[in-house]
Amino acid sequence: MKTRINKLTLLLLAVFAISCSNDSDNEAPEEITPSYLLTKLNSTSAFNTYTYNDADKLIEIDGADGSFTSTFNSTLTYNGSGKIQEELKIVSALFSTPSYNRIIYNYDAQGRLTEKKYTQNSSATPAVYDHKQSLIFEYNGSTVTQKLLIKGNALPSNKAVFEYDKRGNVSKITYYNKIDANTPEGVFFYSHTYTYDTKPNPESSLPLEYRFPNTSKNNPIKVIETYNSGSPTTADIVVEYNEGGYPTKKSQSGIVSTYEYKKL
């Protein structure tokens, strides 16, 4: 569903959907028990493999970009509440020294994710990691605002406001940039408005906090893109499903993604 989102650092904000409750919009997203575990995702821009433990909990992700010039390995550890506590991500690129990244997950008293704190070290040992940036999540009714805050800056570099429907899918994402002291709320950059099917999202077997705000229960089948200049454009997303109703193939604007599963 990433269309025309390779813009500035807003790539970090091109994420997808949070689960909402009809009774309380401020509750933590609701876990879904999947019928299939996602094991592979292949597309023109990424190749990911997912590994689970005996309890079907995600513990490792191996990935590569579309040209295989950059690869990564992520291992996950969990806290006593069963939520991700930390992700160790090792990124390797051709002709470059691997980077070792620790992503620390912080939660509020209600169990909602409030921060993903990104730290980095140039080598595995000594294990001294420098805080580089954070993704901050703020909750307000049926919306979540995600802010990218670079270390040392008082204001975020950019932000995205996610609006959600009653089924827990993103209905609209609005992106803002050019945030400064004179325009602390930023300037409208562009927005995406989505329409969904009623089938399970392929990533429903991944932890909510790992893909947060990418926690949509269903699959987008249409997106309307509105930019700060020009007319809105509409793109249809064609989805093929397996016998369990899970997507096996998605096609959008010439970009094709395929999915493989382990049936439970």
Return the CATH architecture of domain 36-263: Beta Barrel (2.40)
Q: Does residue 179 surpass a pLDDT of 90?
A: yes
- As beta bridge partners, residue 233 has 225
* Residue ranges covered by each domain of the chain: 36-263
State the burial class of residue 152 (Cβ atoms within 10 Å of its Cβ: 0-12, 13-18, 19+): exposed
Could you check whether the bond before residue 213 is cis, i.e. omega within 30 degrees of 0? yes
Integer Cα distance of 215 and 192 in angstroms = 16
pLDDT of residue 123: 67
pLDDT of residue 15: 36
Res. 10 pLDDT band, cuts 50 70 90: very low
Q: Does residue 17 surpass a pLDDT of 70?
A: no
pLDDT of residue 23: 40
Question: Which of 114 and 70 is assigned the larger pLDDT?
Answer: 114
- Which residue from 108, 117, 132 is spatially nearest to 27, judged by alpha carbons? 108
pLDDT in tens, 118-174: 999 866 666 678 999 999 999 999 999 999 999 999 999 999 999 999 999 999 999
Res. 9 pLDDT band, cuts 50 70 90: very low
Tokens 């945030």 locate to 179
- Which residue from 131, 91, 84, 128 is spatially nearest to 107, judged by alpha carbons? 84
